[in-house]
Chains A and B, each alone.
Chain A
Amino acid sequence: DTAVSQTPKYLVTQMGNDKSIKCEQNLGHDTMYWYKQDSKKFLKIMFSYNNKELIINETVPNRFSPKSPDKAHLNLHINSLELGDSAVYFCASRGAGTRAFFGQGTRLTVV
Chain B
Amino acid sequence: GENVEQHPSTLSVQEGDSAVIKCTYSDSASNYFPWYKQELGKRPQLIIDIRSNVGEKKDQRIAVTLNKTAKHFSLHITETQPEDSAVYFCAATLTGTSYGKLTFGQGTILTVHP
Residues of A within 8 A of B (CB): 29-31, 33, 35, 40-43, 45, 48, 50, 55-56, 90, 92, 94-100, 102-105
Give the distance in Å from the alpha carbon of A100 to the alpha carbon of B107 in the complex.
17
B54 CB-CB contact with A under 8 Å: no
Structural contact, A42 and B106, CB atoms closer than 8 A:
yes
Give the distance in Å from the alpha carbon of A97 to the alpha carbon of B87 in the complex.
24
- Return the chain A residue nearest B49 by Cβ: A99
List residues of chain A with CB within 8 A of the CB of B44. Answer: 43, 90, 102
Whether A90 touches B98, Cβ cut-off 8 Å, given contacts A42-B106, A45-B103, A99-B49, is: no
Residues of B within 8 A of A (CB): 32, 34, 38, 42-46, 49, 87, 89, 95-99, 101-104, 106-107, 109
Give the distance in Å from the alpha carbon of A97 to the alpha carbon of B99 in the complex.
9
List residues of chain B with CB within 8 A of the CB of A29. Answer: 98
List residues of chain A with CB within 8 A of the CB of B99. Answer: 30-31, 48, 50, 55-56
Known: A43-B107, A102-B45. 6 other contacts (CB 8 A): A30-B98, A42-B104, A45-B104, A50-B98, A96-B98, A104-B43
Structural contact, A94 and B106, CB atoms closer than 8 A:
no
Structural contact, A105 and B43, CB atoms closer than 8 A:
yes
Q: List 13 A-B contacts (CB under 8 A).
A: A30-B99, A31-B98, A43-B44, A43-B104, A43-B107, A45-B101, A45-B103, A50-B99, A56-B101, A96-B96, A96-B98, A97-B95, A99-B49
List residues of chain B with CB within 8 A of the CB of A40. Answer: 106
Smallest CB–CB gap between B75 and chain A, Å? Answer: 15
Smallest CB–CB gap between B6 and chain A, Å? Answer: 10
Smallest CB–CB gap between A60 and chain B, Å? Answer: 14
Structural contact, B43 and A96, CB atoms closer than 8 A:
no
